[in-house]
Amino acid sequence: MDCNDTVTAEVCKEDDVGDGELCEVMVAGYPVLLVRNKMEFSALGSRCPHYGAPLSKGVLRGHRLRCPWHGSCFDIKTGDIEEYPSLDCLPCFKVTVEDGKVFVTAKKKDLESSRRVKDMSKRCLLNRNTMLLLGGGVAALTCAETLRQEGFTGRIIMVTKEKHPPYDKSKLSKAVSVDFQKQKVRFMDGSSQKYNQLLIATGGHFIYNHEPYLDSLSLSPSFLKVPGADLQNVCHLQTPEDSSKVLELASGKNLVIVGASFVGMEAAAFLSDKAAAVSVVEKHEFPFQKMLGPQVGGVVLKMLQNKGVKFYMKKELHELKGKDGKVTEAILASGEKLPADVVVVGIGASPSSAFLKGTSIARDSSGAILVDLHMQTNIPNVFAAGDVVSFPVALLNGDHASIHHQQVAEAHGSIAAFNMLKKQKELHTVPFFWTTMLGRSIHYAGYGKGYTDTVLKGSLEQQKFLIFYLKDNFVTAAASLNCDPTVSLIAEVLHLGKHISKEEAE
């Protein structure tokens, strides 16, 4: 059968599928997702294009289907993305019902792939408008894709200091300067670029799949400020090369990780069976304490302790010592000494916005650029997106916050694109995050900063639980381990603007 050939197959009886039900059926040997909503059938690709999650295990609310793993959302009528992190859409197939039998018709090439890329307009040389995107992370990527998907035919220039796809140039550095009045950006090599619309996305996440637990960051890391911090083999995870370097250096050696952040914990988990010894130094009592709290942090601590990772909690690094210019030892403020052939720093990050110092663009005390729900800054024709911004968060009643999640950065980039094209569109997203360690994923939806209470369902000891984070007696976030797709369901409830009380959570 040719890849363009069309096949029609009977997949089930009409009465076999109830209203609101998701089921996986086979068409010409390929799995297809069959959905029945308000008694009407739809057929789509069966796997989420992001990481291949089975969508038959997802959450359906109206025409909106949410992935059970990472929260991507799709319209079941069109297959189009409604919520990231997936960058691709789902293929849709024709469904007919005859004599109580359900048939699906599809082309073989569409059945072979569970992903579909939206049509994009092409560059037209007659369109002299320039969209300048500063940054090469996912916020800039989704902005560029959305611009083309929405019909923009002018010039799109993506500028970044990174050398990896999808990047266009390698110019961006702290020497960049922006003249908002002249609508011009000047680069360190003396060249400059005028723009009609500018997107600043210099702090977006850089997602790199060389190793599953060593995702790198392109926002400015918080550097160590202790004696010996400039020794060789003291590493910050910023680029794919950094990840590869740490893996190479740590194999069979003594690794010390400073900071029990998500990056630090994922690195500890991945390297636990590769390094000779892994030690984590953290000033708080538990990993992820500020975001996930002591209960979840305690579970993660025990998981990694069982893999031989040693934790030095409520401790601080005092000094790094070395020999021949290379780090050999980490000395804690308590006086304890840890052998250290490699040190990985995971103590947080700050917005990459230093190049804007002295300009009129509004920033908060951390340096994050202030934007509204259109991703518009206080400067005309200048937008910002991703980790570099502070934006109004619905779950905080519109108060501003910086949220460093891939899915949020992607949503920012897309919304910015609509508004750069003067197509008014406001941000409406529920933050969705996950972290994977030792083959297990903790899923998190919402924004629980400043939570005052929690409700726990399940068992922390058995590592199967759901935890609600509450503020003023209402749920603002939830996290789970081995309870899919519960967090996706809660994300959909929050997306609808509904409040979950403590009594309902219990």
Whole-structure pTM value: 0.89
pLDDT class for 165, splitting at 50, 70, 90? low
CATH code of the domain made up of 432-504: 3.30.390.30
Residue 215 has pLDDT above 60, yes or no: no
**Of the ranges 5-14, 161-170, 316-325, 388-397, which one carries the lowest mean pLDDT score?**
161-170
Determine the number of helices (DSSP H) and then strands (DSSP E) in the chain: 8, 38
pLDDT at res. 422: 97
CB 476 within 8 A of CB 491: no
pLDDT class for 189, splitting at 50, 70, 90? confident
pLDDT at res. 174: 36
pLDDT at res. 224: 75
pLDDT over 90 percentage in the chain: 79
Residue 448 has pLDDT above 70, yes or no: yes
Superfamily covering domain 6-110: Rieske [2Fe-2S] iron-sulphur domain (2.102.10.10)
For the stretch 21-68, pLDDT in tens is 999 999 999 999 999 999 899 999 999 999 999 999 999 999 999 999
Q: Could you give the angle at the alpha carbon of 228 between the alpha carbons of 227 and 232, nearest 5°?
A: 165
3-state secondary structure of 217: strand
6-110 and 130-206+351-421 share one fold: no
CATH code of the domain made up of 234-345: 3.50.50.60
Mean pLDDT calculated for residue range 116-131: 95
pLDDT class for 421, splitting at 50, 70, 90? very high
Report the residue count for the chain. Answer: 506
More confident call, 172 vs 479: 479
Domain residue ranges of the chain, discontinuous segments joined by +: 6-110, 130-206+351-421, 234-345, 432-504
Residue 490 neighbours by CB distance under 10 Å: 24
Residue 237 has pLDDT above 80, yes or no: no
Strand pairing partners for 216?
206
CB 453 within 8 A of CB 462: no
Residue 367 has pLDDT above 50, yes or no: yes
Mean pLDDT calculated for residue range 313-341: 96
Superfamily covering domain 130-206+351-421: FAD/NAD(P)-binding domain (3.50.50.60)
- Distance, in Å, from the CA atom of 347 to the CA atom of 490, rounded to the nearest integer, reads 30
Give the chain's mean pLDDT. 90
pLDDT over 70 percentage in the chain: 93
